[in-house]
Amino acid sequence: MIHSTLLGILAAVLSVFVAILIEGASLRSFFHLPAMLLIVGGTLGATFASYSISQVTKAVKDTKFALSRRREKDLKLIFFRFWEKARKDGLLSLEDEAKKLDNPFLQKGIQLIVDGSDPRTIEEILWEAHEEEEKNDLKSAKVFETAAGFSPTVGIIGTVLGLVTVLENLDGGTKVLGQGIATAFIATFYGISFANLILLPISNQLKVVAKQESNERQAIMRGILSLQSGENRRILAERIEPFVKY
């Protein structure tokens, strides 16, 4: 199934094209390669100038992750399995289980239990790791938000360049003058559309995923501490429950 963000972007772009056709304008009139190159190149250049290459690369990778159909993890079932294992064989028996995990944050928490760390130390280490990951996740959203801020401005630059060209050729007649002005404003059209129909929706989706990942890590922290303290299964579920309802 197509992701809701991709579906929304597709619907938004399609509605623009339909509106153009209803107005009786030609789609060819709205295709201007120089303006498109200016918007894409100018926006990318300004964004790369604002962030490191690694940050922009991570933002692109996070976008692919955010727009994929992810299988939801049932953290309660995972911790119930750990709880059963610890009740039967002790906390040290969880070391083998930790090696099988594909979640580095959960793996770190289980390993801290196995190492015999005290609850306060575990909470501090996991919370610091959580805050760092949350900051990195939100930074990816900020990259696209920044690009969305540059795009309309670059569009205005393109429009100004186009108008300068038009003003230098005022002797071309009314028809030529009108076509030149229309072409000049295409750059602004591209810049605003690119920002609001593509970049901002992706940024918002990255923020949603960052919040989901944040809740998951907080659920893991509560589960780890509950598991270490030997609380019963019901209490374990109650501690995790508020963070998995998203």
pLDDT digits (tens, 9 = 90+) for 14-33: 988 888 888 777 777 778 88
37 lies in some domain: yes
Torsion of CA 77, 79, 81, 82, to 10 degrees: 170
Query: Residue 230 is part of which domain span?
Result: 33-244
Residue 72 has pLDDT above 60, yes or no: no
2 lies in some domain: no
> pTM for the whole thing?
0.81
Number of domains present in the structure of the chain: 1
The pLDDT of residue 2 is 60
19 lies in some domain: no
59 lies in some domain: yes
Residue 113 has pLDDT above 80, yes or no: yes
Neighbouring CB atoms inside 10 A of 12's CB total 14
Please give the Cα distance from 238 to 222 (Å, whole number).
10
Question: What is the residue-averaged pLDDT of the chain?
Answer: 85
25 lies in some domain: no
Residue 161 has pLDDT above 80, yes or no: yes
Please give the Cα distance from 157 to 177 (Å, whole number).
19
Alpha carbons within 13 A on the beta-carbon side of 21: 6
* DSSP track, 50-116: HS-HHHHHHHHHHHHHHTS-PPPP-HHHHHHHHHHHHHHH-GGGHHHHHHT-S-HHHHHHHHHHHTT
21 lies in some domain: no
Residue 1 has pLDDT above 60, yes or no: no
Which pLDDT tens digit goes with each residue over 174-224? 666 666 777 778 889 999 999 999 999 999 999 998 998 899 999 999 999
